[in-house]
A and B are shown apart, each in its own frame.
Chain A
Amino acid sequence: MNLLREVVDASVALVKGYGMTLRHVFRPAITENYPDVLPKFEERYRGIHELQRDENGLEKCVACFLCSAACPANAIYIEAAENTEKERFSQAERYAKVYNIDYGRCIFCGFCVEACPTDAITHGHKFEFAIYDTKDLIYTKDMLLVPDSRKEKGRKASDQAA
């Protein structure tokens, strides 16, 4: 009698279990195939910063130092310099000659983005910076600055022409 009951119970459990499996086979998968497929973040995700350019391709940053003043982790280091007639980097008189963010310190709070009066610094969606040496966590301006879209377009056009 007991044996019969055990057999029935086990079969029910099996059907239940496989039923669950069978149901999930037809549902969309939630596993992310990182790193083969990069994750998609919400628009407001705070990843590695980007220094933006204006419509003329000039850097938006005018080296006002407000981001570094706002930074609670003291992660931003700037050296300013003056634009000259020959070399113009930003719209205003001053530009950032050196712009470093130390990602060993950054806590991704977004205060810098909030503080920026020219919308020059924004959060990008990149997030991978595992490295072997903490020194490599200091990102310099050339790593943060977005490419000049006009130059980029120009290059693509010339590539196609070639």
Chain B
Amino acid sequence: MSEPVTLTINEKQITVPAGTLLIEAARQNDIRIPSFCYVKDLTLQAACRMCLVEVEKAPKLQVACTTVCMNGMVVRTESKPVIEARRAVLEFILTNHPLDCPVCDKGGECELQDMTFKYGPGTSRFIEEKEHQPEQQVSPIIFFDAPRCILCYRCVRICDEGMDVKALEPIGRGVKTIIGTGHDTLDCEDCGNCIDICPVGAITSNQYRYKTRPWELKYFGTVCTHCSNGCKTTLSVRNNEIIRANNRDRTGINEEFLCVKGRFGFDYVGSGDRLKTPLIRRGGTLQPASWEEALGYVADRLGEIREHTGPDSIGALGSPRLTNEENYLLQKFMRQIVGTNNLDHRRTADYASLEVALARNQKPEALLNVDQIKTAPTLLVIGDDPTTQQPLVAFNIRFAVRRHEARVFIINSKPVKLLRQAVASLILKEGSEAALVAYLARREGSTLDKVAAETGLPGELIETFEKELRASSDVAIIFGAEVRGPAIHDLVDFGASLAGITRYLALSDFPNSRGALDMGVVPNLLPGYAPLGGESASARLEEVWRGSIARQHGLSEPEMMEAISTGRMKAMLLFAANPLENPSNPLDRSSGPALGATLGKLDLLVVSDLFLTETARQAHVVLPAASFAEKEGTMTNCGGQVQRLQRAVLPPGEAKSDLDMIVDLARACGALNWMHGPWSSVLKEIALVNPGYGEVTPRALLQGGIPQTTLAASREALPDIADLNALAESIRSNRSRSLYASGSLALHSHTLVQLEPRAAVQQDFVERYQM
């Protein structure tokens, strides 16, 4: 890097790194230069001319957004010519702007309104008729109003550079220019980033259209709970109803980004199908009951079953949809009060093996989080399809390529959209990722010829790929569920042989997959990946919990299903779990019957969920749960970043959070020392038993921080590798899902269901590109 430069802006001497743009230098020093088209991190446009400033010795006014700071520059941003120029620019921008602010959805949060108010002329000298074009609906969720557009090209650039979709482009010339789609409809990923980034009301959302005004709303910053990336989403609430979701202050780990699910997929919360009261099966049908009745019934039945057939005939499934606190309390309830380790949840990534592999290799700093992708110099993406399953990860990968010229290597069994950013790729046979990783790690018995045959790739291709990869340093490895169990150990060994610091990120489905594992909702691991047999961890838990816990290994989800069919398992508690759902295609209900008959053998099936799911229909007791927008708690994203859910609306009817439900159930079972505390008190207890959560304090979260978990597994007491590999067997990938699906909740989101057929359009993109 060359020397920093010193310049003067408005008589103030400032020093900035060489290459800084004038507009950035000014903003860093609290000098406001107005602009429309300039957006940090997107390419420069200099289209709006709003940022004109006076630079001494320059013959004319200069645009601050493309002028690079130079030593000794003298800049004035508030001189008379500048003020006049801004006024003229605004007058020009407003020549064709319709001034329908009272009707426009953007009114109240419009940048053009604010700018005109602050810098504008107030009147116009134009008396000519304004150019008018009718408003168009370009996609099921996006409306485009051409006359309102001020041609700043922000939407064009975010769509091209940020999303790599290129659905929007300027069409026509001069005063007739409009932002168009090339044809009648907008073929895109429906992310809606163009709505947020538009400084005026030219691009508006169908969901929010003409419903209310921005100052009428209350805003709650919370976490999107559709995938494991954990984007911040701000819910706009009026009359206890969520009207829209966006990231209006562009903070959080996702900054300006939100995908279709985060922006439009919240509407299941207000669905009329939500469960409102507890239901108990009486005479073959589910009938409404009170909470006392329902929980009393469950507690009585659990007590009877426990007495007759022992605690190991009871099992529970937690969920990656529940908060850390809820999952933690669930496993505490099962281990302490019921006295069994029959605990599991739907696992979609092997965090346990990653933790243990890193702990064995003593690489505590090797966990990659979602933010760090942006600055990684080299990225190796194995498996998964980040574009559809992990939109923020894909967005950040594209960011790294765009801004830092990162080199992306891709290993996948299908042609994915990210290939467009890749410098090298291997498209191998499905299921052969582990073989390739074993070869890269030079595992014994793995030769080039063998791996070439297994992956169906020519040996030279693998060799050149590996050579290229080994020439890079500080590699960030991002992998999906294809790499699990032993393959993760191979991957970490391979990473250790690369130059610099290699870091790892496992991609999972569902918002709190990592948290559920961190909390130990598995049959053979305690919170913090401590082995069940390990005396120190169990003893510490017993000390914190003030009670003994079950020591023998429990059953995993498939084992529990088998135990039910053989009659060993008598009772199941399912919290936000829906085992009858077909994981790859929730719309397909055909996987149900066989497993449904199995569940029918249970003496007691308790289901807590938002909706009457396939599984809930078979239950003896159904408990209505609160959604993510109706409860408080924390979620851990796939990169180990912990964020807080904020309650934005009240739950419908008598529904309550799973946290309250589990405490109530424990008290009904006689554990009167279980008290209703806020999420923060549970989080404090989690930090006591999970060393990875040492820095995750309620204080840090309440101050708006995003604390990072650290490696929890300790080298002294590592779980048995065989146990972990057994767990890895039952990981179920959801990779074949489309961008619009995220389990049983998205089925109840009107918007996502409506958009689902558009998944074919995206597949078409990828294929067209391949051609």
Binding site for B on A (CB under 8 A): 62-66, 68-69, 79-82, 92-94, 117-118
B607 to chain A, nearest CB (A): 36
Name the CB-closest residue of B to A90. B103
How many of B's residues come within 8 Å of A, CB to CB? 13
A-B contact pairs, 29 of them (CB 8 A): A62-B102, A62-B103, A63-B210, A64-B101, A64-B107, A65-B212, A65-B213, A65-B215, A65-B216, A66-B102, A69-B213, A69-B215, A79-B212, A80-B211, A80-B212, A80-B213, A81-B211, A82-B209, A82-B210, A92-B100, A92-B102, A92-B103, A93-B103, A93-B135, A93-B210, A94-B103, A94-B210, A117-B102, A118-B102
The answer for the CA separation of A64 and B135 in the assembled complex, in Å, is: 19
Name the CB-closest residue of B to A91. B103
B209 to A68, Cβ gap below 8 A? no
The answer for the CA separation of A93 and B209 in the assembled complex, in Å, is: 10
Which A residues lie within 8 Å of B135 (CB)?
Answer: 93
B186-215 interface code vs A (CB 8 A; 1 in, 0 out):
000000000000000000000001111101
Which A residues lie within 8 Å of B107 (CB)?
Answer: 64
The answer for the CA separation of A32 and B449 in the assembled complex, in Å, is: 110
Tally of contacts, chain A with chain B, CB under 8 A? 37
Name the CB-closest residue of B to A95. B210
Which B residues lie within 8 Å of A80 (CB)?
Answer: 210-213
The answer for the CA separation of A81 and B209 in the assembled complex, in Å, is: 9
The answer for the CA separation of A93 and B103 in the assembled complex, in Å, is: 7
Which A residues lie within 8 Å of B102 (CB)?
Answer: 62, 64, 66, 92, 117-118
Which A residues lie within 8 Å of B212 (CB)?
Answer: 65, 79-80
Which A residues lie within 8 Å of B211 (CB)?
Answer: 80-81
Name the CB-closest residue of A to B103. A92
B210 to A81, Cβ gap below 8 A? yes
The answer for the CA separation of A99 and B552 in the assembled complex, in Å, is: 65
Known: A65-B216, A93-B210. 4 other contacts (CB 8 A): A65-B215, A81-B211, A82-B210, A93-B135
The answer for the CA separation of A129 and B497 in the assembled complex, in Å, is: 85
A136 to chain B, nearest CB (A): 22
Name the CB-closest residue of B to A94. B210
Question: Which A-B residue pairs are the 3 nearest by beta carbons?
Answer: A64-B102, A94-B210, A65-B213
A87 to chain B, nearest CB (A): 14
Considering only residues 608-644 of chain B, those with a C-beta below 8 Å from chain A are none
Name the CB-closest residue of A to B105. A94
Name the CB-closest residue of A to B238. A79
A64 to B210, Cβ gap below 8 A? no
Which B residues lie within 8 Å of A118 (CB)?
Answer: 102
A64 to B103, Cβ gap below 8 A? yes
Name the CB-closest residue of A to B216. A65
B130 to chain A, nearest CB (A): 15
The answer for the CA separation of A63 and B212 in the assembled complex, in Å, is: 8
Which B residues lie within 8 Å of A68 (CB)?
Answer: 216
Which A residues lie within 8 Å of B209 (CB)?
Answer: 82
Name the CB-closest residue of A to B102. A64
A70 to chain B, nearest CB (A): 11
B47 to chain A, nearest CB (A): 28
B483 to chain A, nearest CB (A): 49
Considering only residues 101-139 of chain B, those with a C-beta below 8 Å from chain A are 101-103, 107, 135
B178 to chain A, nearest CB (A): 19
Which B residues lie within 8 Å of A82 (CB)?
Answer: 209-210
The answer for the CA separation of A81 and B101 in the assembled complex, in Å, is: 16
B721 to chain A, nearest CB (A): 60
B63-107 interface code vs A (CB 8 A; 1 in, 0 out):
000000000000000000000000000000000000011110001
